[in-house]
Amino acid sequence: MIGLSPSPIPEDSFHSLDEDSVEGLYHRLLPTCDQVLLEMATLLQRAAETKVPAVQVKGRVKRLPSLLEKIQRKFSPQDLVEPIPALRRMTDLMALRAVCPFLEDVDTVVEAARMVFEIQELEQKGEGRSFAEFGYSSTHLLVNLPYQLQREYPALAEFRVEIQVRTILQDAWAEVEHELIYKVGAHPLNQQIRRKLAALNANLVLSDTIFQEIRDYQKTNISDLARARDNHFEHATSEHPHFVAPGQEISRSRRTSQADIEKLLKKGLNAQIAGEMDDAVRIYTDLLELQLDNFTLSVVLNHRGMACESLEHHSDAVADFVKARSADPRNARARINLALAWRRMGRLDEAEAEFREVLGFKANSAHAHFGLALVLSDRNEVEDAILSCQRALKLSHTFAQAQQLLNELLEQSRRIVGGGS
């Protein structure tokens, strides 16, 4: 194990000597860190690309200027008398970044990481921000070095590695945000620019969601095409094909091309993004008159319901969310929207049941846990509401609304215990 044996030094020279000590240690560890990251990146790449062929995994060691700046902020001079323990506490000294095309791929890559590494922490960065805020979204893992690498590189055996898993859009936003925000130093952004960035970030989040919906739609269509081919083959090879008399036509329902459906869906989403909710409702209504598969039907109904909510047409919104649930019972977004709508209408039993059913098939939904906490808080079931808030925050440490509700509930609990009003 690499270590330093410092001798007593004057207080006024403490800072510069500590920095030099850290810098020397950094340069001695750097080649080993690079080799460890290369091997860990290869492990994750091989594990993930079996399910996500387009995933790209890269590693990086934190640059020395950034490391020194963070150390000065995080540690006192006394902490740096022996710099190895301080560097072990720097969880982002070594980092891997896995970038994948779609939102669904993020969970797949996380499971691949779980197969090859021991995960110490998992955090959903950015989840829970309101649309008035901005910042990148990313799933962050903190993992130990595999046992084989700990034995091979004992100097780093007790260090941990951060793994960031992002979509392509999340990664692009993170890079640009870093240049625009974290490098401006003493030049903070004014409110107008911050609003523009918040709007841009909201559009990127929605774009990621739409890309995923299109991806799911394509998968559904591939399944439908396969079934159609099977049906056609069965009919064509049947010993008793259906007889059609001369001049007689087989009755068929009108089919609409995929291009027409996607064109209308894109038009409705653009109207919704622009805040033109009346137009969005009209477009989604036109789309619902076409022949849609259940998945697409559920997506369209959910979006029309959200537009109706924005117009305060609450009954129409609930009706759409209910239909979306019927079309695709695993559409968690639609079901959470339905539960929230029922809560606003005071239908707490139905809201609670809906949130619990969502958690039955999507237990890692921070928003479902938070929604359940809201309902339990409405019923004054303070302790259960606190537990639900804590579960939401465990899944998303930056969930500001959940943190605010938790603070209020803890204060309420203290008043109850203390006998205050």
Q: Encode pLDDT of 293-332 as tens digits.
A: 888 899 899 999 999 988 989 999 999 999 999 999 989 8
According to the per-residue pLDDT averaged within each range, which of 2-11, 192-201, 226-235, 305-314 is highest?
A: 305-314
**24-33, 118-127, 405-414: which range is least confident on average?**
118-127
- Percent of the chain at pLDDT above 90? 41
| Residue 193 pLDDT greater than 60, yes or no | yes
- pLDDT tens digit string along 243-257? 334 444 433 344 567
Cα 24 to Cα 17: distance, rounded to the nearest angstrom:
10
Q: Which of 1-15, 66-80, 313-327, 357-371 has the highest mean pLDDT?
A: 313-327
Instruction: Report the interhelical angle of 294-310 vs 332-344 (nearest 10°).
Output: 30
Q: How far apart are CA 6 and CA 359, in angstroms?
A: 54
Q: Are 85 and 4 in contact (CB under 8 A)?
A: no
Confidence of residue 223 (pLDDT cuts 50, 70, 90): low
In this prediction, residue 242 carries a pLDDT of 38
Spatial CB neighbours of 413, under 8 Å, sequence gap ≥ 6 = 382, 383, 386
Report strand pairing: 56-61 vs 138-144. unpaired
Q: Is the pTM of this model over 0.85?
A: no
**Which of 75-84, 135-144, 234-243, 264-273 has the weakest average pLDDT?**
234-243
CB neighbour list of residue 38: distance below 8 Å, 6 or more residues apart: 59
Question: pLDDT per residue over 43-74, tens digit each?
Answer: 999 999 988 989 999 999 999 988 888 888 88
Mean of per-residue pLDDT scores for the chain: 80
Question: What pLDDT sits at residue 254?
Answer: 45
| Closest to 150 measured CA to CA, from 165, 161, 163 | 161
Under 8 Å CB-to-CB from 325, ≥6 apart: which residues? 298, 331, 334, 335, 338
Q: How many residues does the chain have?
A: 421
CB 98 within 8 A of CB 109: yes
- pLDDT of residue 33 exceeding 50, the answer is yes
Q: At what angle do helices 400-418 and 382-395 cross, to 10 degrees?
A: 150
Instruction: Provide Rg for the chain, Cα atoms.
Output: 27
Higher pLDDT, 285 or 241: 285
Task: Using the structure block, give the residue that is written with the tokens 């004992």.
Answer: 154
Rounded CA-CA distance 97/251 in Å is 55
Q: Which of 25-34, 120-129, 376-385, 395-404 has the lowest mean pLDDT?
A: 120-129
- The distance in angstroms from the start CA to the end CA of the chain is 58
β-strand 94-100 against 160-167: which pairing, if any? Answer: parallel
When pLDDT is averaged across residues 227-237 and rounded to a whole number, the result is 45
Name the more confident of 173 and 45: 45
Contact in structure between 302 and 331 (CB atoms under 8 Å): yes
Averaged pLDDT for residues 379-384: 94
Q: What pLDDT does residue 127 have?
A: 57
Confidence at 13, pLDDT banded by 50, 70, 90: very low
Cβ atoms < 10 Å from Cβ of 290: 16
Of 256 and 339, the one with more pLDDT: 339
Of the candidates 318, 254, 312, the residue with the CA atom closest to the CA atom of residue 278: 312
| CATH architecture for the domain at 11-200 | 2-Layer Sandwich (3.30)
Place of tokens 């609450």: 314
Q: 96: which strand partners?
A: 59, 163
Q: Is the dihedral of CA 46, 51, 53, 55 positive or negative?
A: negative
| Inter-CA distances, 149 with 33, 43, 157, 159, Å | 11, 11, 8, 11
